[in-house]
Chain A
Amino acid sequence: MVKFVFIVALVFIGNCFAYPEFQRFSQENSGRPINCAMCHVNGDGPEGASRGQIGSLTPVELNRLNAARGAFAPGMPVESPILNAFGNNIIRKIGKTKFLELRAHPEQLAEAYGFQSDLDEDGIPDAQEYLDGTNPLNRSHGNPWKLFVHNLNQYKLHIFLIILATVAGFYGLSNLLHGFAIQAESHEARN
């Protein structure tokens, strides 16, 4: 019984952001509300006892967490159990030292991370999704216009075929209307 109260109580701590500077920047830059789930496993941040929060980690996971915390230089293997794929990739790419420095300039994170990686393959680079306040790990989430343009390009063939079908159908229906009109006319003329 005590355990359940404990779990629930921790769930409610919520809004404990490890590095809120980045969240605040992304939110202001994009005008979209976002939460910790952009980089963390848990939307309420790393503190607590729910999944992806520090209180729930097994000893093995704690080791991985410590290893990730020590990844000061770029290019070290990072597999923190409290970070999601994007969060881990940030530390892997720029290193913890640089990351901590960037807290003062959260707008430079995108530049430092680079615009090559696109983890969810939706055509919008992760760094851009950070600037746009959209989910870098969800294929069907992104800036609507950019997503639309990318998908339009990706599904060219399908769209070409349906336009072809529509044009053919229009051609057919127009001629059908024409045919009926002529028939009706000659019908009237004869009566």
Chain B
Amino acid sequence: MLELFLFVGLPYAATIVCIVGTVRRFKYDRYGITTLSSQFLEGKKMLWGSAPWHIGILTVFLGHFVAFLVPGVWQRLMAIPSLLTIAETLGMAASLICLVGLIVLIFRRATTARLQKTTKLADFIVALLLLGQIALGLMIAGGFRWGASWSTGTLAPYIWSLITLGPDISVIRDMPVIIQAHIVGAWLIVFIFPFTRLIHMITVPIHYLMRSPQKVVWTNPRRNASAVVARADQNSRRHFIKASLGLSAAGLLLSVGVLDKLGRFFQMPGLHHDEEADLLETRLRRLQLTAEEKQLELERLRSNEIYVSKLSDLNGSTGKYFIDYAMRPGLAFRSEDGWPMLLSAKCTHLGCTVGNQVDANGKILCPCHVSYFDVKTGLPNEGAPAKAPLDRIAWIVRDEQGAEIATESSRGSRTGRIDPQMAEYYSLYIVRSLSAEA
């Protein structure tokens, strides 16, 4: 029963009282809608109290308002951990700031004699309610962390159920007492709203920020004159305030974005061990390939002859690739007379690897810039991008016993004689001692 009263009766009563009271005051006491400024009674402490209080409470209020107004959007935003952290930090900081401001204001009231004359009972009630409400809010923020996120699923539906006239208190019935107290406190503030200086809120004095500053002072002619001069000079102030608002919003958003990405970039990526294994496998394979390449290179540095193929495995239509002494690809063919033909497969134009298929004209093609090379001479076709012929590669043919049968140097001079019938017993080697480099 008490719950129903506090969470359903009180809200509706408070809202009705608030609306009716505000309308009445607008009608009958228009000029009473005021903050009851006491700046002219005491100015210094006022600045240190009023400014933080308003900055803090507006931030906190805005946070609550947005979360209740568009809980769906808010929840999606709060699902991003860094944004949630920021919202919580910002909220706590703002609460602390307004708490400090409020304490300064209360202290000011309590210690300034001329103020006490203008202070009414309502002011004390307002101050105490606000103080309690902020303290409760901070306790909730500290004790039940991540309220920016969980409130969208609990408190927002409650508020919306009230607005849509289908009150549903099931979610808040079992909530901790301090949260319930915070809710009741909020309704109490709504309740007393029209009877206190809180009513100045509805004038939404945002333009205070932008306009040139006004001071509540005792007027006299000298002050009037200087105010006019000052006003002209401070006309740009509202632009600077707007500028600092815009720039700090941009700075905040950008630094959040950049820091978030920067932080995650340097974090160790949490890989599944399967992924980790795949990665390692790829890396290992690359290392093996490099090792094989180095092995080939070493072999070419150490030995004077390197095996290419059995002579009988070669033919005139499809070349066999091998690696020559300069670690470049080479191609081995065998002409009709049974002699091997060894050419460098590195295009003399820009170094692409030449293809190994001999076409009907007895030519092989470099696919990169379309040069055709004659297999017999190595010469490129007329007008090809490549100008120089493919290098000849020196070779030696040995029989099964390792005896020298025939050779050709890289300049094309041949020795020995090849019997095509014996090709099956002959092996082809490239040889360093007959190369141009040697």
Q: Which residues of A contact B (CB under 8 A)?
A: 1-2, 4-5, 7-9, 11-13, 51, 157-158, 161-162, 164-166, 168-176, 178-183, 186
Whether A12 contacts B240 by the Cβ 8 Å rule is no
Q: When chains A and B are docked, how far (Å) is the Cα of A12 from the Cα of B321?
A: 6
Which residue of A12, A166, A171, A183 contacts B236 across the interface (Cβ within 8 Å)? A183
Binds A, one of B87-95, B97-105, B246-254: B246-254
Whether A168 contacts B296 by the Cβ 8 Å rule is no
Residue of A nearest to B367 (CB): A15
Whether A165 contacts B249 by the Cβ 8 Å rule is yes
A34 nearest CB across to chain B (Å): 14
Given known A8-B321, A8-B322, A186-B232, contact A170–B239 (CB-CB < 8 A) = no
Whether B306 contacts A168 by the Cβ 8 Å rule is no
Q: When chains A and B are docked, how far (Å) is the Cα of A12 from the Cα of B240?
A: 70
Q: When chains A and B are docked, how far (Å) is the Cα of A178 from the Cα of B247?
A: 14
Whether A169 contacts B285 by the Cβ 8 Å rule is no
Q: Can you report 22 residue pairs joining A to B where beta carbons are below 8 Å apart?
A: A1-B307, A4-B295, A5-B306, A5-B323, A8-B323, A9-B322, A11-B321, A12-B356, A51-B285, A161-B253, A168-B246, A169-B251, A172-B246, A173-B243, A173-B246, A173-B247, A179-B240, A179-B243, A183-B233, A183-B236, A186-B232, A186-B233
Main DSSP-derived SS at the A contact region? helix
Q: A8-B322, A158-B257, A165-B249 are in contact. List 18 more A-B contacts (CB 8 A).
A: A1-B303, A1-B307, A2-B307, A4-B296, A8-B321, A8-B323, A12-B356, A13-B321, A161-B253, A165-B253, A168-B253, A172-B245, A175-B242, A175-B246, A182-B239, A186-B232, A186-B235, A186-B236
Pick the most buried of A2, A9, A164, A166: most chain B CB atoms within 10 A of its CB: A9
B112 interfacial by beta-carbon distance below 8 Å: no
Residue of A nearest to B232 (CB): A186
B292 interfacial by beta-carbon distance below 8 Å: yes
Q: Which residues of A contact B3 (CB under 8 A)?
A: none
Given known A178-B239, A179-B236, A182-B239, contact A162–B322 (CB-CB < 8 A) = no
Given known A165-B254, A179-B237, contact A9–B246 (CB-CB < 8 A) = no
Q: Which residues of A contact B236 (CB under 8 A)?
A: 178-183, 186
A37 nearest CB across to chain B (Å): 14
B39 interfacial by beta-carbon distance below 8 Å: no
Q: When chains A and B are docked, how far (Å) is the Cα of A173 from the Cα of B248?
A: 11
A159 nearest CB across to chain B (Å): 11
Pick the most buried of A172, A183, A186: most chain B CB atoms within 10 A of its CB: A172
Whether A4 contacts B250 by the Cβ 8 Å rule is no
- Considering the complex, which residues of chain B in the window 274-316 have a beta carbon less than 8 Å from any beta carbon of chain A? 285, 292, 295-296, 299, 303, 306-309
Q: Which residues of B contact A (CB under 8 A)?
A: 76, 80, 232-233, 235-237, 239-240, 242-251, 253-254, 257, 285, 292, 295-296, 299, 303, 306-309, 320-323, 329, 356
Q: Which residues of A contact B299 (CB under 8 A)?
A: 1, 4
B39 nearest CB across to chain A (Å): 26
Residue of A nearest to B244 (CB): A172
Q: Which residues of A contact B254 (CB under 8 A)?
A: 162, 165, 169
Q: When chains A and B are docked, how far (Å) is the Cα of A12 from the Cα of B318?
A: 12
Q: When chains A and B are docked, how far (Å) is the Cα of A178 from the Cα of B236?
A: 7
Residue of B nearest to A10 (CB): B321
Q: When chains A and B are docked, how far (Å) is the Cα of A158 from the Cα of B258?
A: 11
Whether A176 contacts B243 by the Cβ 8 Å rule is yes
A23 nearest CB across to chain B (Å): 15
Q: When chains A and B are docked, how far (Å) is the Cα of A5 from the Cα of B309?
A: 9
The 4 closest A-B pairs by CB, nearest first: A172-B246, A12-B321, A169-B250, A179-B239
Whether B243 contacts A12 by the Cβ 8 Å rule is no
Q: When chains A and B are docked, how far (Å) is the Cα of A18 from the Cα of B36?
A: 90
Whether B239 contacts A175 by the Cβ 8 Å rule is yes
Q: Which residues of B contact A11 (CB under 8 A)?
A: 321
Q: Which residues of B contact A9 (CB under 8 A)?
A: 309, 320-322
Q: Which residues of B contact A51 (CB under 8 A)?
A: 285
B265 nearest CB across to chain A (Å): 15
Q: When chains A and B are docked, how far (Å) is the Cα of A183 from the Cα of B233?
A: 7
Q: Which residues of A contact B245 (CB under 8 A)?
A: 171-172
Q: When chains A and B are docked, how far (Å) is the Cα of A169 from the Cα of B253?
A: 10
Whether A7 contacts B257 by the Cβ 8 Å rule is no
Which residue of A8, A158, A182 contacts B235 across the interface (Cβ within 8 Å)? A182
Q: Which residues of A contact B250 (CB under 8 A)?
A: 165-166, 168-169, 172
Q: When chains A and B are docked, how far (Å) is the Cα of A118 from the Cα of B358?
A: 41
Q: Which residues of A contact B356 (CB under 8 A)?
A: 12
Whether B243 contacts A175 by the Cβ 8 Å rule is yes
Pick the most buried of A157, A164, A175: most chain B CB atoms within 10 A of its CB: A175
Q: When chains A and B are docked, how far (Å) is the Cα of A11 from the Cα of B321?
A: 9
Residue of B nearest to A5 (CB): B307
